[in-house]
Amino acid sequence: SLSLRPPPPRVPRKNIVLEPPENDGRPAWNSKLQYILAQVGFSVGLGNVWRFPYLCQKNGGGAYLVPYFILLILIGVPLFFLELAVGQKIRRGSIGVWNYVCPHLGGIGVSSLMVCGFVGLYYNVIIGWSIFYFFQSFQYPLPWAECPIRRNGSLPECEKSSATTYFWYRQTLNTTSTIADSGGLNVKMTLSLLVAWIIVCLAVIRGIASSGKVMYFSSLFPYVVLFCFLVRGLLLKGAVDGIAHMFTPKLEKMLEPQVWREAATQVFFALGLGFGGVIAFSSYNKIDNNCHFDAVLVSFINFFTSILATLVVFAVLGFKANLMNEKCKILGYLNANVLSHDLIPPHVNFSQLSTVDYAEIYGVIKAVKEGSFSELGLDPCVLEDELNKVQCVCTGLAFIAFTEAMTHFPASPFWSVMFFFMLINLGLGSMIGTMTGITTPVLDTYKVQKELFTVCCCIIAFFCGLLFVQRSGNYFVTMFDDYSAGLPLTIVVILENVSVAWIYGTKRFMQDLEDMLGFRPHAFYFYMWKYVSPCCLIVLIAATVIEMAISPPGYNAWVEELVSQPSYPPWALAMCFSLIVVAMLPLPIVFIARHFNLMSDGSNKLSVSYRKSMMKDISNLEEVDETRFILGKNPGETPSPKPPSQAYLGLPGTNPLENPNSLSPNSCYGTSYQNAISPQPPPPLSPPPPLSPTHDHCPSSSCPSPSLTLNP
Confidence label for 341 from pLDDT (cuts 50, 70 and 90): low
Q: What is the mean pLDDT of residues 548-568?
A: 73
| Rounded CA separation 459/468 (Å) | 15
Burial 360-393, CB ≥16 within 10 A → b, else e: ebbeebeeebeeeeeeeebeebebeebbeebbeb
**How confident is the model at residue 461, as a pLDDT?**
93
| Rounded CA separation 268/359 (Å) | 40
Q: What is the mean pLDDT of residues 460-469?
A: 92
Contact 1, 694 (CB under 8 A): yes
Q: Which of 187-201, 427-441, 445-459 has the highest mean pLDDT?
A: 187-201
Secondary element (H or E) of residue 559: strand 557-559
Rounded percentage of the chain residues whose pLDDT exceeds 70: 68
Q: What is the tens place of the pLDDT at every residue in 637-647?
A: 444 443 333 33
Does 616 have pLDDT greater than 50?
Answer: no
Does 398 have pLDDT greater than 60?
Answer: yes
**How confident is the model at residue 79, as a pLDDT?**
93
| Rounded CA separation 79/278 (Å) | 11
**How confident is the model at residue 468, as a pLDDT?**
92
| Rounded CA separation 156/432 (Å) | 43
Q: Among 66-75, 337-346, 544-553, whose mean pLDDT is lowest?
A: 337-346
* Helix runs in 348-411, H state only: 355-368, 373-376, 383-388, 396, 402-406
Contact 656, 709 (CB under 8 A): yes
Q: What is the tens place of the pLDDT at every residue in 568-589?
A: 888 988 998 899 999 999 999 9
**How confident is the model at residue 621, as a pLDDT?**
42
Residues flagged as binding site: 41, 44, 48, 302, 426, 430
Q: In this structure, which long-range contacts are made by residues 701-704, counting pairs with CB atoms below 8 Å and at least 24 apart in sequence? A: 701/641, 702/641, 703/641, 703/655, 703/657, 704/1, 704/2
Coil, helix or strand at residue 315: helix
Q: How many CB atoms lie under 10 A from the CB of residue 554?
A: 15
Task: Give 145 or 197, the one with higher predicted confidence.
Answer: 197
Contact 608, 21 (CB under 8 A): no
- What is the dihedral angle through the alpha carbons of 601, 604, 605, 607, rounded to the nearest 10 degrees? 120
Does 656 have pLDDT greater than 50?
Answer: no
Does 651 have pLDDT greater than 50?
Answer: no
| Rounded CA separation 164/390 (Å) | 13
Q: What is the tens place of the pLDDT at every residue in 286-331?
A: 888 898 999 999 999 999 998 998 888 888 877 777 766 555 556 6
Does 352 have pLDDT greater than 60?
Answer: no
**How confident is the model at residue 299, as a pLDDT?**
92
**How confident is the model at residue 700, as a pLDDT?**
39
| Rounded CA separation 590/604 (Å) | 17
Secondary element (H or E) of residue 12: none
Alpha-carbon distances, residue 328 vs 43, 103, 498 (angstroms): 42, 66, 58
Task: Give 27 or 469, the one with higher predicted confidence.
Answer: 469
Q: In this structure, which long-range contacts are made by residues 613-616, counting pairs with CB atoms below 8 Å and at least 24 apart in sequence? A: 613/20, 613/89, 613/287, 613/650, 614/650, 614/651, 614/652, 614/673, 614/677, 614/679, 615/18, 615/677, 615/679, 615/681, 616/17, 616/18, 616/19, 616/20, 616/650
Q: What is the tens place of the pLDDT at every residue in 25-79?
A: 677 888 888 889 888 988 888 888 878 887 887 777 777 888 889 989 988 999 9
Mean pLDDT (the chain, rounded): 74
Report phi then psi at 340, rounded to 5.
-85, 145
| Rounded CA separation 152/133 (Å) | 28
| Rounded CA separation 448/524 (Å) | 42
Confidence label for 147 from pLDDT (cuts 50, 70 and 90): confident
Confidence label for 710 from pLDDT (cuts 50, 70 and 90): very low
> What are the chain's domains?
32-133+179-324+391-610 (1.20.1740.10), 330-387 (no CATH)
Does 669 have pLDDT greater than 50?
Answer: no
**How confident is the model at residue 457, as a pLDDT?**
92
Give, as one character, the DSSP assignment of residue 672. -
Q: Among 28-37, 62-71, 250-259, 612-621, whose mean pLDDT is lowest?
A: 612-621
Residues flagged as binding site for Na(+): 41, 44, 48, 302, 426, 430
